[in-house]
Amino acid sequence: MFERLTGIRLAALGRLGRTAMLVSLLALLAALAVSVSDVIKYPGEDLRPKVTGARAMLLGLDPYTYQAGPDTPEELQDYTRVFAHLTRVTYPPTLLALYAPLSPLPFRAQRYFWAAAEWVALLATLLLLTRSLGSQRARVLFFTLACIFFAGGDFWRLHVERGQYYAFVLLLLAGGSFLLLRGRNGPWVQGLPIGFAIALRPTLAVMIPALWLLRLRKPAVSAAGTAALLVVLTLPLAGIRGWLQYQRSVAMLERTILGDKETIRSLGQPYRPPPVIEGHDYSQTAYLRSYTANTSFSWIVPRLLQLRDREAWMAISKVLAFACAAAFLIAALVLGAARRSLRTRAALAIVAALMVDDFLILRVSYADVLLLAPLALLLPALIRQRTPPLFAALLLGGLVLGANLLLVWTPIGWLGPIVRSAAVMLGLVCSCLWLSSFAQPGHRQPLRLREESEEQK
């Protein structure tokens, strides 16, 4: 069963390969056991606003600004709410619609369901991406890295413990890449998962022009159409006003994170409900205390440089985000990226979108799970072309240091998430540009043909 799902032929592996598989599976099982314990103990601090937001939307309330008081039903209370006139819901209506069907259920049942769904999404992604790799060497290496440094990483533990949604976006990106590489479905179908991913996380919309410029135009149109259709489907629930309020809530959140005293004062102090909400005592175990960090470039730079006008910097950083993504794509195109393999072009589009994410005012370290998709896409070419030592050091060094294996017992352990995000992202950017600079023979045939030729060998 394992061989059929992953494509890894265990009987053909040497001692080192079998050891790597054993260590990987043990790390995976250990991470799952710890995660189950976390889900039972902690209520999912970030899941709560998704559920309350979905419930409010179904009731016709504004999920972004509804006010809570003593008469507010328990199902809409959020113990860790910060402001009276702004909820912790900073997600688009499309994401709230994803959580809406189960929102009437007891919160504890939803907690268990969504935690299980996050793990299923990660495992499905792991199998898809491993299977998409052509060689046994690449499959073993990727599976090992993914199990130890992603599934076994502290950021994935936080992802499930908090109740985040990035695993679903990752699965959609992996699914779109898998369909693109296999070549069995038409290009219109290949863009559907990417469109779903963009609808859940709008910052990924940068992938649409990126795919178009990289000569993947039908998948780009399909992705744009799918995302637009999903937005339209949310209008009966949220309306146009819901989308406008979503934009406003994000803008207000930016101001509060930047420390705008006038904005913070205008939002007011929230009503503090009793600590026991839907069977969980938030005063005792609200969330796991662990190393995490805001790895946003827009948040780190003004603090390092001690900038006073942070609001002006925020406006500049938004322009800078798209400018960097555009410069990255232009450089890749000049180097010949549009003529390279499907893997390289898909990775370029994803990395360009994730680059914009790095400039958001708030980017918490559990978003690093999205780095798994471009890493899998680039890995075969990096192995074949003998990656420059600097790029390998950035990728592997970032994963090792970011796992807090070396920093956890030191006073600078909080730097781990920042090191991982910066080093791995820089390694991916450099690798994309490096692979764009020369042809990669043998990559243009569909994945299924490469697998058949490899099995014959």
- Say if 224 falls within a structural domain: yes
Domain count, the chain: 1
On the CB side of 384, how many CA atoms lie within 13 Å of its CA?
18
For 115, 210, 378, 423, the CA distances from 351, given in Å and listed in that order, are: 27, 10, 11, 13
pTM: 0.91
- Say if 276 falls within a structural domain: no
- Say if 274 falls within a structural domain: no
Beta-carbon contacts of 257 under 8 Å, excluding residues fewer than 6 positions away, are 299, 361, 362
- Say if 275 falls within a structural domain: no
Helix (H) / strand (E) containing 277: strand 276-277
- Say if 64 falls within a structural domain: yes
- Say if 91 falls within a structural domain: yes
From first to last of its 457 residues, the chain has per-residue pLDDT tens of 777 888 788 888 888 888 999 999 999 999 999 999 999 988 888 999 999 999 999 999 999 999 988 899 999 999 888 898 899 999 999 999 999 999 999 999 999 999 999 999 999 999 999 998 888 888 999 999 999 999 988 889 889 999 999 999 999 999 999 999 887 777 788 899 999 999 999 999 999 999 999 999 999 999 999 999 999 999 999 999 999 999 999 988 888 887 778 888 989 988 888 888 898 888 776 667 766 677 888 878 777 777 777 677 777 888 889 999 999 999 999 999 988 889 999 999 999 999 998 888 788 888 999 999 999 999 988 887 667 778 888 888 888 776 654 445 555 666 777 888 888 999 999 999 998 887 554 444 444 434 444 433 4
- Say if 144 falls within a structural domain: yes
String of b and e for 173-210 (b: at least 16 CB within 10 Å)? bbbbbbbbbbbeeebeebbbbbbbbbbbbbbbbbbbbb
What range defines the domain where residue 347 resides?
Answer: 2-268+286-452
- Say if 10 falls within a structural domain: yes
Residue in this structure with the two tokens 């099995």, named with its chain if needed: 455
Could you tell me if 350 and 373 are in contact, meaning their C-beta atoms sit under 8 angstroms apart?
A: yes
Q: Which long-range contacts (CB under 8 A, 24 or more apart) does 407-410 make?
A: 408/291
